[in-house]
Amino acid sequence: MQSLDTYRDEARVRAVCDEIARVATREWTLMEVCGGQTHSIMRYGIDQLLPKQIELVHGPGCPVCVTPLEVIDRALAIAARPDVIFTSFGDMLRVPGSTTDLFQIKAKGGDVRIVYSPLDALQVARANPGKQVVFFAVGFETTAPANGMAVFQARREGLKNFSILVSHALVPPAIIALLSDPENRVKGFLAAGHVCAVMGYREYEPLAEKYRVPIVVTGFEPLDIANGILACVRQLEECRAQVENAYPRAVLREGNVAAQKLIAEVYQVCDRKWRGIGEIPASGWRLRDNLREFDAELRFDVGDLRVNESPLCISGLVLQGRKKPNECVAFGKQCTPAKPLGATMVSTEGACAAYYRYARHTFALVG
């Protein structure tokens, strides 16, 4: 195993970017699906090292960003109840709902707690038998096994005061939706390494074949991303469209079989609405019928919520790769990390937050 410094070595990254410039003879638009990759690209200035004919656009791979506004409002309604202890990862607390966020609910007296694992939320439930404990289960395929294990354990222990508010989204259906869009201009994808570490990459192979688009499984360090871009550009220049694994130190084709087995036992596929994008068929998971007693959405009747996004926010277009964050008229003005209009500005994986944090609104040079 090579050291982390190897994957952040400037000379190596520049050499790969020089090779991309040598190989690329045409203009190509590539999408990095994962928000973690977006932040690495911005942080290390990889986009500024690429030749001008290669454009990177940012995909819907930020789980916080694509959590529907209705689900956020449902979480807020549940968290405000006096009989509830609402637990969540910290990145969800400042995501704006229609009128407020979880931090404000906490400030007004709601028992909202940050946890670092769904198993921590289980411990809260054990320690507070007189309260209903809810865990906000947000994420892609990556976090589904741990969230599912919490439900599994709760059933095993007979915990009646624990439930999860599920908002799990699946990456392949989102890629299909993007490729089916008549306005799509993405010619190649960098697939998220951590998702593929769980699920493998066999399910991407039919997509690459059907839509004639290269999909390269890529890690998160600068050298990983540069090598992923190079692999994608080489395929495009050679008129190939395959799934390629540029992250073999963490990803196997079959993925984590044990995690997949747990997922199949806990969840079933459902249609899912994506914030800023709309409903994508078969793009989410919900708890299986025999585990619905642990579904907070059913346990707490908060009504049928219908909400509207801020008319100034273009996060949906950003998540589809059709706009860059700094093309938004509200970017850095009405919308900042302190007062976000949308989740893409507040999430640690949001594209707008990356552009703001790394000064891409001023197009600062790499320092």
For the stretch 257-306, pLDDT in tens is 999 999 999 999 999 999 888 999 999 999 999 999 999 999 998 766 66
For residues 305-317, give the mean pLDDT: 80
Q: Other CB atoms closer than 10 Å to residue 303's CB: what's the count?
A: 8
The answer to whether residue 236 sits within a structural domain is: no
Contact indicator for 187, 212 with CB cutoff of 8 Å: no
Which pLDDT belongs to residue 361? 62
The answer to whether residue 317 sits within a structural domain is: no
The answer to whether residue 88 sits within a structural domain is: yes
Average pLDDT value for the chain: 93
Residue 113 has pLDDT above 50, yes or no: yes
The answer to whether residue 306 sits within a structural domain is: no
Q: How many domains does the chain have?
A: 1
For residues 309-315, give the mean pLDDT: 85
Domain with 162, as residue range(s), is 65-169+255-299
Longest dimension (CA), the chain: 66
Residue 98's pLDDT band, with cuts at 50, 70 and 90, is confident
Count CA atoms within 13 Å of residue 286 on its CB side.
13
DSSP H or E run through 105: helix 102-107
Residue 324 has pLDDT above 70, yes or no: yes
Which pLDDT belongs to residue 365? 35
The answer to whether residue 39 sits within a structural domain is: no
Contact indicator for 85, 113 with CB cutoff of 8 Å: yes
For residues 335-353, give the mean pLDDT: 90
Give tens-digit pLDDT for 26-55: 999 999 999 999 999 999 999 999 999 999
What letter would DSSP give residue 366? Answer: P
For residues 151-170, give the mean pLDDT: 96
pTM of the predicted model as reported, rounded to 2 decimal places:
0.92
CATH classification of the domain holding 155:
3.40.50.11740
The answer to whether residue 259 sits within a structural domain is: yes
Contact indicator for 33, 191 with CB cutoff of 8 Å: yes
Which pLDDT belongs to residue 364? 34
The answer to whether residue 14 sits within a structural domain is: no
Which pLDDT belongs to residue 306? 62
The answer to whether residue 76 sits within a structural domain is: yes
Residue 366 has pLDDT above 70, yes or no: no
Which pLDDT belongs to residue 286? 96
